[in-house]
Structure 1
Amino acid sequence: MNLEVLGRLFEKTTNSYKYLFFLSILNIVHQQTGNSVNLLLYQTLTVEMLTLSWYPHFYSQLSFGTQDKIPEMLNGLTYSNFLQFKPPQQLTQNDLNQLRKNLALSPLDALTSQLMRYVPYRLIRPFFELELFGEKDGKINRKIRELSEDYFESRKPLYYFDVENQGILIHPEWQNYLSTSYNLLWDWAFWEWVDYLQACNPKISDIASRLLPPKII
């Protein structure tokens, strides 16, 4: 495993998708500790990304950046008849769990297609920088898909893509590392996300406290 490459996953970031995608992978792997995660479905990752975005968007009213479509997606869900979730005045972890369940039961095909169009490919681009140098943007996704499979055992990218394009398959060694180093990796990715959102919201202080609901004792 190449930890140096892992540290470059968030290079050239123009929206929140990479941070949310990686944090979602971490959460799902962590929740399934002791089990073989193997395939992570795009729909499941979309649910987790939207769940993580809920509090900073609706409660903290943070900007996610001009190119980010997640706030628009969340607004659309709340105005639809599909998401049976009434946001409480004070959000708790139990509320987030219920939101996650409700999202999983909602028709998210269009949102999943939109969110997963680029981010699963661009997140692991640092694993293949040499092979992708000078490649036209329109061919990047296909090239990364091929490289992730061809070099899965030798280069050991974080994951490769299932043949039906329904999700990603985590490399077993990375799965073990993500699970055993969950807290360390979560803190790293979380603070990278904080830095990104701080740049998007320069007039707002203490961004970190605005991303997750307060713990209710």
Structure 2
Amino acid sequence: MLEHDPAPFPEQDGLNIAALTGLFRNTTNSYKFVFFLALLELLKRHQFDPERPYPYTEITIEMLSAVWFAHTFFKLSFGAQDTITQKLDALGLDFTASESLSTREQSALRRAIANSDLKSALRLMDFVPYRLQIPFLEPQLRDIDKGAWMTFERAMPAIVNSHFQTVRPLYHYDSDNWKECTAIHWHPDWVRYLEQHQGIIHGWACWHWLAYMQRRNPNTPGLPNKLFPPSKRESVNKQSRYWREILNAAGDKPLTCIYTGEPLSPKHFALDHYLPWSFVVHDQLWNLIPAPPAVNASKSNHIPSGDHLRDLVDLQYDGLQIARRIFSPREFDRFTEDYIADLHLPSTETLLNYGELFNAYARTVEPLVTLATNQGFTSGWAYGSDDH
């Protein structure tokens, strides 16, 4: 868990920096984090232009695209009361993307969202553009009941607009009438400040969103890597070499695929993540096994049937025995350090003991399978099954 707040922002004459740092106080849903991050992204995309309006529709599209990866690809929980993922699901998007969600794919995702019926999703704009600015107007809101939902929101546009030049909140609205608000207009001083300090402010907002998501996904592995798409997947050349040399050294008794039983070829295999990469978000060898390419493609991001756990341990154990024989002690230690760390084994000797290895896998994998299944990953996969 995260334990401390990042350093405060640089001071700026005339701007209420303390209010900025208080944006996420008393936050019970993801909306403020996603809304603010969407605003930062739109400012950056439009070269920090303070003159143009930022329409609610544009902000909504950016918010939905910002959570698509974490929700659709990694199936993270946003909280029981949070509706942003429900609004995203309701769009019924026919959209797929790679695990790195390239810039081109991100643009395509925004277009797909923009071409959907956004009537329900736009309800996000009923409150978050107004709630976010409370820290800037505490004295002016002293007599307003902030707990009176809709009554408070209806009062905010006129209050903010009337104090915009003196109090200088982040932005004002294009109407004093809540029903007629369709866009925000940034205060130019804040735009300059956000542009100057965009790195630290973006990192701070991400830090707070991560802390929020950790509370709602406490046991999810690799959570920091699941909120935003990686720029690219890391190479698995080292892992491929490990298994290729093991398969070559197996000789007349070839190792076999745990899903089909067919012999594994050192010249033609794929690396399969036993627990899907989209759940664990890593390429550690303890979770990687060779499989025929067609089998790996069929498995996709499904979770294997529990019957395959012993098969997994059998293959890993055989591979480790061969690896101990063919690699130098230094290379072997380098290849197996993640086994020992992630499976919580005390030594190399226990790693090479079948009973210890099986128990370590059972303790590690079975709870993760339960968690992944609860998050929506399909479990019980078997090659050739009619269900998949």
TM-score (norm 2): 0.52
Alpha-carbon deviations, 1:168-209, whole Å to 9, x = none? 111111112222222221111011100000011112243211
Displacement of 1:148? 0.9
Which amino acid is 2:74 matched to?
S
Q: Which residue is 1:24 aligned to?
A: 38
Structure 1 residue 132 corresponds to structure 2 residue 153: no
With over 3 angstroms needed to count, the CA separation of the structure-2 counterparts of 1:37 and 1:31, relative to structure 1, is: farther
- Alpha-carbon separation, structure 2, partners of 1:37 and 1:19: 24
Structure 1 residue 170 corresponds to structure 2 residue 180: no
Q: Is the Cα–Cα contact under 8 Å of residues 15 and 67 in structure 1 kept in the other structure?
A: yes
Structure 1 residue 11 corresponds to structure 2 residue 43: no
Q: Is the Cα–Cα contact under 8 Å of residues 34 and 63 in structure 2 kept in the other structure?
A: yes
Q: Which residue is 1:110 aligned to?
A: 120
Q: Is the Cα–Cα contact under 8 Å of residues 132 and 140 in structure 1 kept in the other structure?
A: no
- Alpha-carbon separation, structure 2, partners of 1:196 and 1:37: 33
Count of aligned positions: 211
Q: Work out which of the residue numbers 214, 233, 236 in structure 2 matches 1:198.
A: 214
Q: Is the Cα–Cα contact under 8 Å of residues 8 and 126 in structure 1 kept in the other structure?
A: yes
Q: Percent of pairs identical after alignment? A: 34
Structure 1 residue 188 corresponds to structure 2 residue 204: yes
Q: Is the Cα–Cα contact under 8 Å of residues 145 and 161 in structure 1 kept in the other structure?
A: yes
Q: Work out which of the residue numbers 82, 88, 92 in structure 1 matches 2:97.
A: 88
With over 3 angstroms needed to count, the CA separation of the structure-2 counterparts of 1:129 and 1:116, relative to structure 1, is: same
Displacement of 1:147? 1.9
- Alpha-carbon separation, structure 2, partners of 1:102 and 1:140: 33
Alpha-carbon deviations, 1:41-93, whole Å to 9, x = none? 00000000000100110111111011111111122122xxxx4x421352422
Which amino acid is 1:215 matched to?
S
Structure 1 residue 57 corresponds to structure 2 residue 71: yes
With over 3 angstroms needed to count, the CA separation of the structure-2 counterparts of 1:55 and 1:34, relative to structure 1, is: closer
Displacement of 1:134? 4.8
- Alpha-carbon separation, structure 1, partners of 2:207 and 2:106: 21
Displacement of 1:34? 5.7
- Alpha-carbon separation, structure 1, partners of 2:50 and 2:127: 26
Q: Which residue is 1:71 aligned to?
A: 85
- Alpha-carbon separation, structure 1, partners of 2:48 and 2:153: 32
With over 3 angstroms needed to count, the CA separation of the structure-2 counterparts of 1:35 and 1:5, relative to structure 1, is: closer
TM-score (norm 1): 0.90
Q: Is the Cα–Cα contact under 8 Å of residues 30 and 178 in structure 1 kept in the other structure?
A: no
Q: Work out which of the residue numbers 157, 160, 173 in structure 2 matches 1:145.
A: 157
Task: Name stretches of at least 5 consecutive residues in structure 2 with no aligned partner.
Answer: 1-14, 234-388
SS at match of 2:169: coil
Which amino acid is 2:22 matched to?
R
- Alpha-carbon separation, structure 2, partners of 1:45 and 1:37: 16
Q: Is the Cα–Cα contact under 8 Å of residues 92 and 214 in structure 1 kept in the other structure?
A: yes
Q: Work out which of the residue numbers 125, 130, 135 in structure 2 matches 1:121.
A: 130
Decide which structure has the larger Cα Rg and report it.
2
- Alpha-carbon separation, structure 2, partners of 1:31 and 1:175: 13
With over 3 angstroms needed to count, the CA separation of the structure-2 counterparts of 1:129 and 1:115, relative to structure 1, is: same
Structure 1 residue 154 corresponds to structure 2 residue 166: yes
With over 3 angstroms needed to count, the CA separation of the structure-2 counterparts of 1:44 and 1:37, relative to structure 1, is: farther
Runs of 4+ in 1 over 3 A off after TM superposition: 34-38
Alpha-carbon deviations, 1:1-51, whole Å to 9, x = none? 111100000111111000010001100011111644431100000000000
- Alpha-carbon separation, structure 2, partners of 1:26 and 1:59: 23
- Alpha-carbon separation, structure 1, partners of 2:56 and 2:48: 21
Which amino acid is 1:33 matched to?
Q
Structure with the higher helix share, 1 or 2: 1
Displacement of 1:143? 2.8
Q: For the aligned residues, what is the CA RMSD?
A: 1.7
